[in-house]
Chain A
Amino acid sequence: MKHFHRHTSRLTAGIALFSSLLGTAAQAAPAANTLLNVSYDPTRELYQAENAAFAGYWKQKTGQTVTINQSHGGSGKQARAVIDGLEADVVTLALAYDIDAIADSKLLATNWQQRLPQNSTPYTSTIVFVVRKGNPKGIRNWDDLVKPGIGVITPNPKTSGGARWNYLAAWGYKQKQTGSAEQAKAFVKAIFKNVPVLDTGARGSTLTFTQRGLGDVLIAWENEAHLILNEFGADKFEIVAPPVSILAEPPVAIVDRNVDKHGTRKLAEAYLNFLYTPQAQEIIAKNSYRPRSAAAAKKYASQFPNIKLFTVKDLFGTWRQAQKTHFSDGGTFDQIYTP
């Protein structure tokens, strides 16, 4: 019996040691002049420029040196990382639903979208097509995507924020044209019949289309489309702007609980408000996002083709509703894949 006790006591000691290790995993609080901006995939270049501009602005205004760290990835994944404890001071994600999901876990106020101008969206974008040089398949409009033999590249709307905008853009185009949600659904289903691969993120689809040579048309963010032309050469690809598309509104928000913990609320607010200033709006336009300010929009008008844009609100209600109808389990996206 004595023997037995010795073993169990060591066993319990082992378990106790382990659980204490779990409990004391300390989290160092970042300094009050550091911000973490958790963002989605294609905004790397944009926020690099914005962060440098903001640091200069803040230094001039207050004399303080600020450091802004960026983290990028699929919008849904990034939201999940914040929910799971990534201590973002601000989130700048691809769509409102992802920030709603963070709000659901009580990290920020549910009315977050009313706290900043224009639905907390300092810039917008839209969804366009990228085709191979010379547009060999003659793709001009959404209807061309359902033609037989056309390979369409778009990521999985379940995992990619950009893909949800793509999906809603195609759906909205047909619904506006026919007035029927049924026909819109059949149309989207026909498009996805032409989709040979569903990448998990927008960058993945870009690589599939550009590097692997798959597909005839890539449905992409307008800014991503410009990036493709810059990166891979305008001699290989061209952008086709459909006559109708969706107004994509990627919102920004302060994560209340984290800024209060870090003591960075003032700085975070200044940072997000800075995005609405003329200086920041110029940077936005230069990075091929559509600026909110009329002045910047006018100055860079030649860069943005005239596309008739509808909003999520016009056709789908709130993002929560759109998510539930189309992308949740059993939603229209699942239905079009059900045999």
Chain B
Amino acid sequence: MPPYKSNKRHILPGFGLSMGYTVFYLSAIVIVPLATIVIGAFKMDPQAFIATVTSPRVLASYRLSLSTAVFAALCNAFFGFLAAWTLVRYRFPGRRVLDALVDLPFALPTAVAGICFATLYSPVGWMGQYLEKTGIQIINAPSGIVVALIFIGFPFVVRTLQPVLVELEPEIEESAQSLGATRWQTFRRILLPHLFPALLTGVTLSFARAIGEYGSVIFIAGNLPFKTEIAPLMIMTKLDQFDYDGASSVAFVLLLISFSMLLVLNAVQRWQQKSYR
């Protein structure tokens, strides 16, 4: 028996209408645009498709995009956690301003962010001139890509953690302590299990956003083939060469990677929730 025939009555009516609306909306903004990529990739000769997506330069760009996105997401997991904790648990002057600042990466055009970073870290920039003396290179290096990706992914972690942290009353920690738990045990056994699903969601979002990020990265990456050329730039490059098929195939594989990553992370989340309930 299909689930929608269940006799359980919904409190609010209108399942049919809202379902139709959901399908329409999802088709309009997600499924149909993405379908063009899939169709574009499938229209290609399979051999040409394989040759395109396994060419060393494209592979290098996938590796770079994925590794920088993972690295940035992990950084955000740690520092985003800290920021969310600070903003929720402590009261200090300027807290609201700081809280509002967290959203800025959402609002700012990413190209603007990219230009800011490129200016800041250039050899004549505020930070670049000192970094150059120490031999650390940010601009035109993979580390620059990570910097940009951390920036655009940061709010996702903070904003998903905050509401859960608000729900989690400090009394829980206090009772754990009074029952003899050490600080680490309290964190590991009490806090983390509660926060983990939200943290994972935030990290996933920040990671997914980072894989596809283009605007901010190209200004700081340097875009050298095999070194600092991200996968989205590969797609743009192919489009500029009027190679629509090549662009679709690179995009298709990127889409597959992102989608399977999201599926895996969702599965982890469900498994984790089950194992703690």
CA–CA, A101 to B16, complex, Å?
A: 48
Contact: A329 with B246, CB < 8 Å? yes
- State how many angstroms separate the Cβ of A318 from the closest Cβ of chain B: 16
Contacts A159-B237, A198-B222 given; indicate if A14 touches B5 (C-beta within 8 A): no
How many A-B pairs have beta carbons closer than 8 Å: the answer is 107
* B24 interface neighbour in A14, A77, A339, Cβ under 8 Å: A14
Residues of B within 8 A of A159 (CB): 236-237, 240
Q: What are 20 A-B contacts defined by CB distance under 8 Å?
A: A3-B5, A11-B20, A14-B24, A15-B23, A15-B27, A18-B28, A21-B28, A158-B237, A159-B236, A196-B140, A197-B140, A198-B225, A200-B223, A208-B118, A212-B118, A212-B125, A212-B139, A213-B123, A214-B122, A329-B241
Residues of B within 8 A of A7 (CB): 4, 15-16, 19-20
Contact: A83 with B242, CB < 8 Å? yes
Interface flags for A15-34 (1: CB within 8 Å of B; 0: not) read: 10110011000000000000
Contacts A10-B19, A14-B20 given; indicate if A197 touches B224 (C-beta within 8 A): yes
Contact: A101 with B242, CB < 8 Å? yes
B15 nearest in chain A by CB position: A7
Contact: A199 with B242, CB < 8 Å? no
* Cβ < 8 Å to B, chain A residues 297-339: 327-329, 334, 337-339
* B226 interface neighbour in A3, A17, A328, A337, Cβ under 8 Å: A337
A76 nearest in chain B by CB position: B240
- State how many angstroms separate the Cβ of B88 from the closest Cβ of chain A: 39
Contacts A80-B240, A198-B223, A214-B122 given; indicate if A18 touches B24 (C-beta within 8 A): yes
CA–CA, A94 to B273, complex, Å?
A: 58
CA–CA, A83 to B240, complex, Å?
A: 12
- State how many angstroms separate the Cβ of A327 from the closest Cβ of chain B: 7
Residue total for A at the interface (Cβ-Cβ under 8 A): 42
CA–CA, A21 to B25, complex, Å?
A: 12
CA–CA, A207 to B31, complex, Å?
A: 38
CA–CA, A327 to B19, complex, Å?
A: 49
Q: Is the interface of A mostly helix, strand, loop or mixed?
A: helix
Residue total for B at the interface (Cβ-Cβ under 8 A): 40
Contact: A211 with B119, CB < 8 Å? yes
* B241 interface neighbour in A6, A15, A76, Cβ under 8 Å: A76
Contact: A11 with B4, CB < 8 Å? no
Residues of B within 8 A of A104 (CB): 242
CA–CA, A21 to B29, complex, Å?
A: 13
Answer yes or no: A264 CB below 8 A from chain B CBs: no
Answer yes or no: A258 CB below 8 A from chain B CBs: no
Contacts A11-B20, A159-B237, A211-B119 given; indicate if A18 touches B27 (C-beta within 8 A): yes
CA–CA, A208 to B121, complex, Å?
A: 12
Contact: B241 with A338, CB < 8 Å? no
Contacts A15-B24, A329-B241 given; indicate if A156 touches B223 (C-beta within 8 A): yes
Residues of B within 8 A of A15 (CB): 23-24, 27
Answer yes or no: B180 CB below 8 A from chain A CBs: no
Contact: A213 with B124, CB < 8 Å? yes
CA–CA, A279 to B233, complex, Å?
A: 42
CA–CA, A145 to B177, complex, Å?
A: 68
Answer yes or no: B251 CB below 8 A from chain A CBs: no
Contact: B17 with A200, CB < 8 Å? no
The 10 A-B residue pairs whose C-beta atoms are closest, nearest first, are A10-B20, A14-B24, A213-B124, A212-B122, A76-B240, A337-B225, A14-B20, A197-B222, A159-B240, A198-B223
Answer yes or no: B174 CB below 8 A from chain A CBs: no
Answer yes or no: A13 CB below 8 A from chain B CBs: yes
Interface flags for B207-226 (1: CB within 8 Å of A; 0: not) read: 00000000000100011111
Answer yes or no: A131 CB below 8 A from chain B CBs: no
- State how many angstroms separate the Cβ of A104 from the closest Cβ of chain B: 8
CA–CA, A329 to B15, complex, Å?
A: 51
CA–CA, A337 to B233, complex, Å?
A: 16
Answer yes or no: B56 CB below 8 A from chain A CBs: yes
* Cβ < 8 Å to A, chain B residues 8-59: 15-17, 19-21, 23-24, 27-28, 32, 55-57
Contact: A199 with B223, CB < 8 Å? yes
Residues of A within 8 A of B23 (CB): 11, 14-15
CA–CA, A236 to B246, complex, Å?
A: 42
CA–CA, A18 to B20, complex, Å?
A: 11
Answer yes or no: A79 CB below 8 A from chain B CBs: yes
Interface flags for A268-291 (1: CB within 8 Å of B; 0: not) read: 000000000000000000000000
Residues of B within 8 A of A338 (CB): 56-57
CA–CA, A4 to B225, complex, Å?
A: 54
